[in-house]
Amino acid sequence: MKYIKETTQTLIKKLLTNHKGLRDNDNKLLATIWYLKADKIEEGALSFLNQIAEGKLPSSESIRRCRQKLQELNPELRGKLWNKRHGFQKQIKKELKEME
Give the count of beta carbons closer than 10 Å to the beta carbon of residue 10: 10
Nearest residue to 59 via CA among 82, 85, 37, 77:
37
Going residue by residue through the chain, which has 100 residues, state the pLDDT in tens, using 9 for 90 and above: 444 566 888 999 999 999 999 999 888 898 888 888 776 555 677 777 778 878 888 888 999 999 999 999 999 999 888 877 777 777 777 877 887 7
Residue type, 62: S
Contact by Cβ (8 Å): 21, 38: no
Domain positions in the chain are 6-99
